[in-house]
Amino acid sequence: MASKVPEKALNLIRNYPRVALNGLKPIENDYRYKSKPRRSRMKATQSGRGNKGQGQRMTLPRIGFEGGNTPFYLRIPKEPYYRGHHLRREYPPFSLLQLQRMIDLNRVNIDEPIDLNSIVNTNIIKINPGDQEFGINLTDEGADIFQSKVCIEVQWASEATIAAIERNGGMITTRYYNTECLEAICDTLGFFARGIPIPRCPLPPRDAFEYYTNPDSRGYLADPELVKKSRFKLAQKYGYEPPNYDTENDSELFKMKDPRQIFFGLNPGWIVSMKDKAIIKPKDPDYVEYYES
């Protein structure tokens, strides 16, 4: 009979655990100092729970209980201005200074329009749609040093910020995305891995509608003519030449998305297959109608 050693050896190799981080041996003369648990002999067996009493016996009362008197959380009245504050939309700040730094370090490409997706893809800032975060608020910190000509799309911007961008010949638009769309934007690869079509973005809710239809905040739903007028007025106010977007060089740069569109170059209803490097589009007229409406 042929020797079984090779087979046995191969069996061993096959059954050994894979080389992974959990299977590495520390280097020789490992200089990491292990912290010793500092405890007395008596306390060692108490699992950090102390001795006797409610603490050790897991019979402590609920949080906030004060021994019987009306506790703080019941005694103090609710302030009306906090009503629904846990449901309010949050727009984490992102300053012009950070943006300028990103541009200077080539983290974003200013030859293309910058939107929330490109900013989040830099992995410098993170937006969590699950935490009631609805996008970024472009703040005016660094407005005095901002020097780039960009076409940027954010979710909230103040007058000073808008002036800073437009003074340099750039274009700024404020745009609303709902949570579903944000999940697609903020973790795009994760979204594509789910195998669902790109959602179509709905209109903003009632309390945001006014902001996004207001030309002074450069809302994406505002009348373009009024936005032009607003740009001119702002230029007069802050003392610079109003920007001109009609030049030949910048035809690729100054683009705006359709109100339902989330990604540039991709329409709602399309599915991006990263594995096949292909896009799947629906053909059925009902679906086409729905996604294009």
Partner 1 sequence: MAAPMNIVGVFRGHSKKFLRIQIIIRQSFCTEADEHEYEKKLAKIRDCSGLPDRLKRKVHGGSPDLSFAPTFKGDKRNRLRKMYAEYGAASGINPGIMYPSKAELEDLLEIEEDWTPTFQQMKQAIENEKAAEAEIARLRDEKVEKAMGKMDELIQQYNKKQKKLEEDIRLAEENTTLLLQEFRDRYGFSVSASSIKFRMFKNAKADEIKEEKKQKKRQSKKDASMQNLQALLNEQKS
Residue number, 68 or 195, with CB nearest to partner 1: 195
Structure tokens at 239: 């003392």
| Region from 9-17, 76-84, 133-141, 223-231 binding partner 1, contact rule CB under 8 A | 9-17
Provide the minimum distance between the beta carbon of 130 and partner 1 in the complex, in angstroms, as a whole number.
19
Task: Provide the minimum distance between the beta carbon of 95 and partner 1 in the complex, in angstroms, as a whole number.
Answer: 31
Angle at 234 between CA 164 and CA 160, to 5 degrees: 35
What part of residues 144-163 is at the interface with partner 1 (CB under 8 A)?
none
What distance in Å separates the CA atoms of residue 62 and residue 67, rounded to the nearest whole number? 10
Q: Out of 117, 158, 213, 267, point to the residue binding partner 1 (CB under 8 A).
A: 213
Among 74, 105, 145, 193, binds partner 1 (CB under 8 A): 193
Sheet holding 93-95, edge to edge: 93-95, 137-139, 156-157
Name the strand (E) or helix (H) holding 272.
strand 271-273
CB of 263 to partner 1, least distance (A): 16
CA dihedral 220, 222, 223, 226 (to 10 degrees): -110
Is the Cβ of residue 165 or residue 186 nearer to partner 1 in the bound state? Answer: 186
Q: Which of 160, 120, 124, 126 is nearest to 143 (CA)?
A: 160
Say whether 233 sits in a helix, a strand or coil: helix
CB 104 within 8 A of CB 147: no
Mark the segment that binds partner 1 (CB under 8 A) among 64-72, 91-99, 140-148, 283-291: 283-291
Amino acid (one-letter) located at 88: R
Distance of CA 213 to the CA centre of its chain: 23
Contact indicator for 201, 175 with CB cutoff of 8 Å: no
Task: Decide whether 7 or 111 has the Cβ nearer to partner 1.
Answer: 7
- Kindly write out the interface string for residues 214-253 of this chain, putting x where it contacts partner 1 by CB under 8 A and - elsewhere: -------x--------------------------------
Cβ(115)–Cβ(264) below 8 Å: yes
The residue from 30, 131, 225, 276 that contacts partner 1 (CB under 8 A) is 276
Q: Does residue 2 bind partner 1 (CB under 8 A)?
A: yes
Binding flag, residue 194, partner 1 (CB under 8 A): yes
For 111-138, letters b (16+ CB in 10 Å) and e give eebbbbbbbbbeeeeebebeeebbbbbb
Smallest distance, Å, CB 260 to partner 1? 12
Under the binding rule (CB under 8 A), the answer on residue 203 touching partner 1 is yes
Of the residues 71, 92, 142, 197, which one makes contact with partner 1 according to CB under 8 A: 197
Report d(CA 132, CA 91) in Å as an integer: 9
Please, how many CA atoms are within 13 Å of residue 54, restricted to the half-sphere of its CB? 4
Which residue of 124, 226, 235, 271 would you call a contact of partner 1, by CB under 8 A?
271
Residue of 65, 273, 279, 292 that binds partner 1 (CB under 8 A): 273
Size of the site for partner 1 (CB under 8 A): 33
Residue ranges in contact with partner 1 by CB under 8 A = 2, 7, 10, 13-18, 192-197, 202-203, 206, 209-210, 213, 221, 271, 273-276, 278, 280, 282, 286-287, 290
